[in-house]
Amino acid sequence: MSQPIRNAVTLNIDGREVTAPEGTMLVDAAKHGDIEIPVFCYEPKLGEPVGACRMCLVEIEGIPKLQTACSTPIRDGMTVYTQTDRVKGAQNAVVEFLLINHPLDCPVCDKGGECPLQDIAMGWGPGKSRFTDPKRHFQKPLPLSPLVAIDRERCILCYRCVRFSQEISEDEQLVLHERGDRSFVGTFDDRPYIAPFHGNITELCPVGALTSYTYRFRARPWDIEDAGSVCTLCPSQCNVKFTVRDERALRVLARDNEDVDDGWLCDKGRYSFQMLASEERITEPMVRAGDGTLAPVSWEEAISKVAAGLRDAGTASAVLAGGGTSNEEGWLLQRLLREGLSSPNIDSSASGARADLVRELSSPALGSRMRELDYADAILVLDTEPLNEMPILDLRIRKAVRRTGAQLLVASEHPSSLDGGAAEAVRFAPGEAAELIGALAAALGAPGYEDDGPHAEKAKAIAELLRTGPDPVIVWGERLFRTPGAVEALLACAKALGIDKRLGPGLLEVPESANGRGLREVGCLPGAGPGLAPTQTGAAASGIRDGMVNGEIKALLLSEADPVRTHPGSEAWRKALASTFVVSIAMFDDPSTAYANVVLPAESHAEKEGTVTHPDGRLQRVRPNVPRPGQIRPTCQVLTDLAATLGQTWDLPDQPAVLAAMTDDVDFYAGISDETIGGQGVRWQELASGRSWGPAVGGRTDNQGDPPPASAGSGLLLGTYRDLWASEVTERNPALRFLKRGQMLEIAPKDAETMGLENGDGVRVSVNGTSVEARVAIRTRMEAGVGFLAEGLAENNGNALVNGAGTRIEVEKTAPAAEFEAAGMGQKATVLSLEGEAAAR
């Protein structure tokens, strides 16, 4: 189904002629005529109106009863009155009713000053109450979750939070208990509301009933400032605004952008502002002294040390850019490396993405906008778990399934939280992505693909549903690059579906890092320069690692990257980093800075000025909201200074200058400036420069992924996945620490039975002598013969065991579940991490 075309409808509201698109609700149409109709329960983000609060009653000519403007679609020639005595009477009545049980504690309420109930009571209320009886009372405030407090006396029962939980995040934890004026919002059995998006309810609440513990009593609306930025903690790149008081960020709010985030934030993005002003931040340059400790130095000294180290390494230098790196920084990094040091060794992810395939996939004809998901007939989620890797995408997919009835198809190694709502969910073993997608290509009739192998049946089922309508969207994980042949097969599927021939639907990649797409497009990819132009092929991440170990690479610059934690082969990375000159631009000490010779402080996304590129090609601005702490300098400036020390004079004094130079260099970014990006971002595909896209001609590059099976033992095949909370962010923000999770070995019930393991048992999982400790979690929707570990944990990181595809693990039981229970470390430890499975119903 394509995006519907909506005709203009003209109606009369309060004597003004108002024109709005058909299907618009009266309350929204009124805004076109500068008429405000007050609402409490209406929130279009939550889906269909419910008409519960009755605040928006208006008079419509020809209809005897007053109607709710939130639920009445406009019609041509309609005559509406919002100011008559009758309407005013109804508005007064509703405000009076709402206030009879609402405490008048505005002076101590966090919502005071930014409260819709206050505003509407002032604007549309009777100004006084005739209610003289006792108000209803509840115990207050109570923790609804470790992060959100609930004050039930303030609640006006608008249902927004309950609807969010039931119909948006679909965690289905919030419900309304009791009925009538005894109704109250809560969870079953008063359990804590723990779900990855639950912070949104504090923003939805039109009164002070739901407040964040991180913001309660910290500031009043008249002593704060709001400023916008983009969250760069994951590829969702949600539009946010920071609430700043006294130069400190105290809160993160959503900045609605339907093209990006639909106005939602995940809890990781919402509560991660605490780390910005953390005492643990690296705020000055540091150099490792002879005794092995890092000591603060001046910027000049640090930069000359870095320059000396890089100059010594020369063409044997390398750069790894992490997801927080902006486009400008990425572009300067590759320029520093390629022009200043004549080295081709730069990469921005662990996937080993191939330059020629990336170029082909970047074609505007193949890509899909985020918004396209709302109109997709079918959505195939291919080897990615949006909840973990791009959380907001999870909500967007659920929305498509719930509201427009898109067919959801899931094909992944690891069980997905989307399985429950899927028309078809299939599993394949780690490393088999190419076979499965190949089978799908065959089922779709792509030339050169034939299959009657084990995946043929699953593939046929998916192919059939993908074809139910003309507009399928395929959401795929960058992880596919790790399996040779998988992305080629994906391209064949896209062509067989004719995706390149229709406007709109297409492929949407979930990159492994926040600015993964932008970094590649500005040239942080081996074999592809700015604008994905073919260039000399260098080493990819795994090649850099191996090169460092065997002496071919002598210096590494890490930009907001922590390969020990996030890249496969933690031990190998440790060895590599220990044996060379390492510079790390980082916000915090991490396992990789532990090996750095020079550490430079990095800016956070609340301090940085720059641009990032959303996975659908939308350039967005990251903007400074708070001052940089300590000695921190803009990374762009640091890189320019470094280049100068290395003899390169760039004349790029500030971010706009770097952006201008970069857009000159990246041909399809041509003409983009901070102004064209604006507050909502701009997709390069939709600009003149993007429409003239022609695939760059370039030779095939070799796959840079990890080599195929190193060992083929008898144990379970190892699979790894990224977990939302398995990241440094969870540890650096006190509010999120309760979500820090332990390692779990996820296995199928059949394997658990053969191995004599039960849920919660302690196990040691080993590969060639390296081992991690984990607890057993039995999962039903898994292939037998596979064991899954999470990547990116601070301890017992699954990455420690990854050794190329086809790694097999030995599992040894260390302690029965009962022992953990006795020590108070029972089910709770696993319950938190299994929420994804629960959310899948």
Site for another protein in 95-114 (CB under 8 A): 96-98, 100-101
Among 128, 179, 290, 824, which residue interacts with another protein (rule: CB under 8 A)?
179
**Residues in contact with another protein, shown as a per-residue x/- string from 33 to 62 under the rule CB under 8 A:** ---------------xxxxxxxx-x-----
Check binding of 680 to another protein (CB under 8 A).
no
User: Minimal CA–CA distance to 646: which of 364, 306, 295, 268?
Assistant: 306
Which element (helix H / strand E) includes 142?
Answer: strand 142-143
Check binding of 209 to another protein (CB under 8 A).
no
Check binding of 174 to another protein (CB under 8 A).
no
Minimum CB distance to another protein, residue 119 (Å)? 17
Minimum CB distance to another protein, residue 56 (Å)? 11
Minimum CB distance to another protein, residue 71 (Å)? 5
Q: How many other C-beta atoms are found inside a 10 Å radius of the C-beta of residue 578?
A: 12
Among 10, 71, 363, 766, which residue interacts with another protein (rule: CB under 8 A)?
71
Residue 226's DSSP bridge partners are 243
Minimum CB distance to another protein, residue 183 (Å)? 4
Identify which of residues 183 and 759 has a Cβ nearer to another protein in the complex.
183
Which element (helix H / strand E) includes 500?
Answer: none
**Residues in contact with another protein, shown as a per-residue x/- string from 706 to 745 under the rule CB under 8 A:** ----------------------------------------
Minimum CB distance to another protein, residue 195 (Å)? 20
Q: CA 43, CA 650: separation in Å to the nearest integer?
A: 50
Identify which of residues 41 and 350 has a Cβ nearer to another protein in the complex.
41
Identify which of residues 130 and 501 has a Cβ nearer to another protein in the complex.
130
Minimum CB distance to another protein, residue 45 (Å)? 17
Q: Tell me the torsion sign for CA atoms 539, 540, 543, 549.
A: positive
> What is the torsion angle, in degrees rounded to the nearest 10, for the CA atoms of residue 529, residue 530, residue 534 and residue 536?
-20
Q: CA 83, CA 105: separation in Å to the nearest integer?
A: 30
Identify which of residues 40 and 476 has a Cβ nearer to another protein in the complex.
40
Check binding of 65 to another protein (CB under 8 A).
yes
Identify which of residues 134 and 290 has a Cβ nearer to another protein in the complex.
134
Residue-by-residue DSSP string for 242-304: EEEETTEEEEEEE---TTTTTT---HHHHHTTGGGG-TTS--S-EEE-TTS-EEE--HHHHHH
Check binding of 94 to another protein (CB under 8 A).
yes
Identify which of residues 50 and 456 has a Cβ nearer to another protein in the complex.
50
CA distances from 136 to 21, 35, 129 (A): 43, 35, 16
User: Minimal CA–CA distance to 284: which of 273, 268, 295?
Assistant: 295
C-beta separation of 197 from 168 below 8 A = yes
The 3-state DSSP class for residue 181 equals helix
Identify which of residues 42 and 213 has a Cβ nearer to another protein in the complex.
42
**Residues in contact with another protein, shown as a per-residue x/- string from 125 to 144 under the rule CB under 8 A:** -----xx-xx-x--------
Minimum CB distance to another protein, residue 179 (Å)? 5
Residue 172's Cβ-side half-sphere holds a number of Cα atoms within 13 Å equal to 8
Phi, psi of 725 (to 5 degrees): -95, -5
Residues in contact with another protein, counted by CB under 8 A, come to a total of 38
Identify which of residues 136 and 813 has a Cβ nearer to another protein in the complex.
136
Among 42, 124, 159, 428, which residue interacts with another protein (rule: CB under 8 A)?
159
Which parts of 160-247 are beta strand (E)?
174-177, 184-187, 210-212, 225-230, 239-245
Q: CA 559, CA 124: separation in Å to the nearest integer?
A: 54
Q: Name the segment binding another protein (CB under 8 A); options: 91-99, 452-460, 485-493, 645-653.
A: 91-99
For tokens 């609340």, the residue is 606
Check binding of 489 to another protein (CB under 8 A).
no
User: Minimal CA–CA distance to 421: which of 1, 839, 5, 3?
Assistant: 839
Minimum CB distance to another protein, residue 20 (Å)? 19
Identify which of residues 54 and 575 has a Cβ nearer to another protein in the complex.
54
Structure tokens belonging to residue 649:
């004079």
Q: Name the segment binding another protein (CB under 8 A); options: 173-181, 594-602, 651-659, 757-765.
A: 173-181
HEC string of 430-455 equals CCCHHHHHHHHHHHCCCCCCCCCCCC
Check binding of 402 to another protein (CB under 8 A).
no
Residue 390's DSSP bridge partners are none
Identify which of residues 53 and 494 has a Cβ nearer to another protein in the complex.
53
Which element (helix H / strand E) includes 465?
Answer: helix 456-466
Instruction: Enumerate binding residues for another protein (CB under 8 A).
Output: 48-55, 57, 65-66, 68, 71, 89-90, 93-94, 96-98, 100-101, 130-131, 133-134, 136, 156-157, 159, 175-176, 178-183
